Chains A and B, each alone.
Chain A
Amino acid sequence: MSSLEIPSAFAMEDVGRTVLDNGLVVLTKEVHTSPIVTSMIWYRVGSRNEELGQTGKSHFLEHMLFKGTERFKKGEIDLITLKNGGGNNAFTSHDFTAYYFNFASDRWDVALEIESDRMVNCAFDPEEFEAEKKVVIEELKTGLDSPWGLLLQEQEASAFKVHPYRNPIVGWLQDVERATVEEQQAYYRRYYHPNNATLVLAGDFETNQILTKVERAFGLIPAGTPPPSMLLKEPPQRGERRLIVRWRSKVPRLAIAYHAPQIAHVDSYALQVLGVVLSEGKASRLYQRLVEREQSVTFVSAEYGEAKDPTLFHIRAEARGDHSVEEIETSIYHELGRIARGEVNQHELDRAKHQMEAHFILSRERTLDQAILLGQIETLYGIDYIDSYLQRINAVTTADVAAACSRYLNEDSRTVALLLSDGSEQVEENESEAD
């Protein structure tokens, strides 16, 4: 196939990587198209690091980092963001916790002040902790009111028996309810160190000038004891697992998950291509079969996402009309069987690769998107991954896709989760008007 040229603005050669003496990794990427600087900090801690009975700690900690330090009191981080016309947010995953600020390029330095301060000085006021616990519990409940949120949570708990990917990122309700401020603080001390973090700066700046600022803000923070390694490994699955979640919905939903390898594994590239061949765009295989021909689903998706440890390849579909989940499931397996037997043609493969390449470029226009890409890859694996990414995707053959499909997407390693009606009558209305 013809390969796309990667424009120079997206080449990784102009990403700077510096490591401070205390171990903090600093990635810089100049982007001068808009007067904006995104500043992100990534910690190598997420729900995969949590012990039994202590789930949800990484995420709760993310909330606490907005609740103040000695220097920036409660509410002040948001207030500074407001006054400077910026934006901030944070997110937690199985593998990492990340925080960002977006500011105009003449006043972004304050982000460095805040991040370096809250790397070590988070206050953990017991009252604030208890107040925020209620907010976290409301967030957890919002997730449970989403059919997919609930189904995938149950599925992961079943697909993994040992590895902590089995736990919800937000935690199990009872763990969050009984969390203590002391435990939370100890967790913070264990994982929030310069040598367990990556700072990413993307935007309108001169790299050599900002490195001095970074050194000034973070250089004096001592390196911490390297956090303990996460040693748990998921034993091989030896047969299909099936589960049913009963819920108030009338619409059946189907989620199939297969064990799949970690980021940069030799087979991971073919699995990414396979996900696109199966469900990206209206010309894709499962869309054509289930939405177009059989009209059995409102949507279908197939996805392999990069993760630090061996992860899952997800297929999801929502049934429509009188079509049963069994019927949909059978069609999906039939289609996977065809792919495993080598029925993916060159045109499909080329189309998928072009989609992936274009996505790589089209979705990186904002500095925040670039910072997310760089930070995530550095945290999961190492920035080198990006250098060879498109070449490796490009090198995937139809035989590779067939082999990956056959090897990973097989009956014995799948967990099938069904969301089915609990038979409840859901809606009673009561209306009044007083003019």
Chain B
Amino acid sequence: MKPTELGLRRAFDVHSHVLGNGLKVLLVENPSIPTVSMNASVLAGARYDPESKAGQAIMASRLLDEGTETRSSFEIADAIESVGGAIEADGSFERLVVSAGVLNKDIGLGLELLSDLLIRPVFPQEYVDKEKERTLAEIVSAQDRPQVVAGWAFNELVYQDHPLHRPAHGYPETVERLERNDLFEFHKKYFLPNNVILSVVGDFRVSELLPKIEDALGSWRARPIVFPTYPEPVRQSGKRTKFIQMPAQQLNIYLGHLGVKRTNPDYYALQVLDTILGGGAGFTARIPQRLRDELGLAYTTFASITMTAGLDPGRFVAFIGTSPENMKLATEGLVNEIRRITEEPVTAQELQDAKDYLTGSFVFAFEASPQIARFLIHAEVYGLGFDYVEKYLEYIRRVTIEDMSRVAKMYLDSENYTLVVVGPLDGAQ
């Protein structure tokens, strides 16, 4: 049996519906385990925050479960936890997500809470103040981790004026200025049924669940939405570097530049390229093989351009965490591997192995209900289609050696890159 056929055995049946108010509903029955995973995605995130209100979207999402018109923060937590379930609200640059996991018998409660959080949050002043303080404290705490500091600095240099230059949770000075009204405004503008996708995967019958969804969310009123626009980010010409001194054991090195969107037609060829250059199984890719296995420079080193691809272009990142005396060797090592893959064709064997890896391991992305629930959202947002499960294998199989050379030259750059180094620079060599 080929991996294709194996993967398809679990080809799932997606029931897609649109409620009268425009809310998209995607359902997959998966009776193998008596649980239900729900994922409601609001298609707006930190990318829409005005610069002066950076952090607005994430703050709004984190306050959804801190009080609604009918329930206090504690009542929400107590209701879901008492049945052993969980409900979480969080956000990213692209989306704000309310997700819930419950046993199948509690699906009604899960839906009720989910709709309450989406439609009727009240952002109590007390919790706005608390959340601001907490976010500020978390930002200070995160600065203890050199890898986080390096990541933030890298994004600033790569994205420049584009919204993705900043941390999604904002800066201390913008978080401090956020007010309750900002959160209401964000909610009013983007939390609309015609801007929400709900995916539910688990042990239920579609015919029984749909009326319940209609009850919970059907009366939510639609309104037209105007989304902010901003210029596309531009890939850098020339080098940008930043060195940040921090007393630590290791240097954290980010090297790379602007990447691609998830909708880029070369995305699949780039996945193959990632597998050969810096990902794949164990330490088979060139960067970990050379820098970890042969030179012993690092425990963690990888590279990827597809990992962060989204509605906005992601980043091409090569990362290594290494002792300060290895700085030159490690940085040169990363640049050399990037240059080599842009200048020399990969071997037929490398290509075949990478393709076998991607097609063979595809099935692992669909093992658990929460994974499938997330996939359904991605399929909708990035226009993948629900037959993606079948098409994916073909997308990968069709990649050629020529594609590898072409996309490497087109999307990777070993000259014009951003380099950020954070750690004990005093001992760096």
Contacts and interface: CB of A to CB of B under 8 A. Distances in A.
Contacts of A138: 250, 296-300, 321-323
A87 B294 contact: no
B103 A77 contact: no
B237 interface: yes
A104 B363 contact: yes
A147 interface: yes
B85 A85 contact: no
A428 B241 contact: no
B247 A77 contact: no
Contacts of A435: 236-238
A4 B356 CA distance: 43
B363 A361 contact: no
B90 interface: no
Contact of A428 (B83, B85, B130, B245): B245
Contact of B367 (A132, A133, A365): A365
Contacts of A43: none
A9 B244 CA distance: 52
Interface stretch (A180-188, A214-222, A243-251, A261-269): A243-251
B78 interface: yes
A88 interface: yes
Best-buried of B250, B280, B358, B367 by chain A (most CB within 10 Å): B367
Contacts of A413: none
Nearest to A424: B247
Contacts of A288: 74
Interface in A317-370: 318, 320-321, 347, 350-351, 354-359, 361-362, 364-367
Contacts of A320: 133-134, 137
B34 interface: yes
Q: Chain A binding site: helix, strand, loop or mixed by DSSP? A: mixed
A146 interface: yes
Contact of A88 (B244, B282, B363): B282
B240 to A, nearest CB: 5
Interface string A127-142: 0000111111111011
B284 interface: yes
Contacts of B361: 85-87
A354 B82 contact: yes
A367 B137 contact: no
A146 to B, nearest CB: 7
A85 B359 contact: yes
Contacts of B145: 145-146
B363 A34 contact: yes
B281 A88 contact: yes
B353 A131 contact: no
B283 A75 contact: yes
B368 interface: yes
Contacts of A98: none
A285 B249 CA distance: 37
Nearest to A133: B296
Interface string B210-253: 00000000000000000000000000111111111111111000
Interface stretch (B4-12, B15-23, B51-59, B401-409): B4-12
Contact of B137 (A81, A251, A434): A251
Given A75-B289, A295-B130, A365-B367, A283 B243 contact: no
Contacts of A145: 145-146, 248-250
Nearest to A253: B141
Interface in A241-291: 248-251, 280-284, 288, 291
A131 B238 CA distance: 35
Contacts of A84: 356, 360
B298 A248 contact: no
A104 B321 CA distance: 33
A94 to B, nearest CB: 20
A83 B357 contact: yes
B343 interface: no
Contact of B294 (A81, A131, A295, A361): A131
Contacts of B358: 85
A427 B84 contact: no
A132 B281 contact: no
Interface in A42-61: none
Contacts of B112: none
A365 B280 contact: no
Contacts of A7: 33-34
B1 to A, nearest CB: 5
B181 interface: no
B98 to A, nearest CB: 15
Contact of B369 (A105, A139, A248, A365): A365
Interface string A81-108: 1111111100000000000001111100
B140 interface: yes
Contacts of A210: none
B321 A87 contact: no
Given A86-B361, A138-B321, A283 B356 contact: no
A154 interface: no
Most buried by B among A138, A359, A430: A138
Interface in A393-435: 424, 426-435
Contacts of B173: none
Contacts of B380: none
Interface in B356-393: 356-364, 366-369
B144 A249 contact: yes
Contacts of A358: 83-85, 102-103
B195 interface: no
A283 B78 contact: yes
A138 to B, nearest CB: 4
Given A321-B137, A361-B33, A85 B245 contact: no
A19 interface: no
Interface in B315-339: 321-323
Contacts of B321: 138, 142
A248 B247 contact: yes
Interface string A115-156: 000000000000000011111111101101111000000000
B14 interface: no
A78 interface: yes
With a 10 A CB-CB cut-off, give which of B102, B237, B241, B363 has the most chain A CB atoms: B363
Nearest to A282: B77
Given A36-B364, A106-B1, A432-B241, A82 B281 contact: yes
A361 B34 contact: yes
B282 A82 contact: yes
B259 interface: no
B101 interface: yes
A141 B77 contact: no
B86 interface: yes
B264 interface: no
B261 interface: no
B249 A78 contact: no
B138 interface: yes
Contact of B300 (A82, A142, A282, A364): A142
Given A4-B103, A106-B1, A145-B248, 7 more contacts: A87-B364, A88-B282, A145-B250, A251-B140, A427-B246, A429-B243, A433-B240
Q: Please name the 6 residue pairs, one residue from A and one from B, whose CB atoms are nearest each other, closest first.
A: A85-B360, A358-B84, A78-B282, A134-B296, A435-B238, A282-B77
Interface of A: 4, 7, 9, 33-36, 66, 74-75, 77-79, 81-88, 102-106, 131-139, 141-142, 144-147, 248-251, 280-284, 288, 291-292, 295, 298, 318, 320-321, 347, 350-351, 354-359, 361-362, 364-367, 424, 426-435
10 contacts: A4-B103, A9-B33, A138-B296, A142-B300, A145-B249, A298-B134, A320-B137, A358-B85, A362-B35, A435-B236
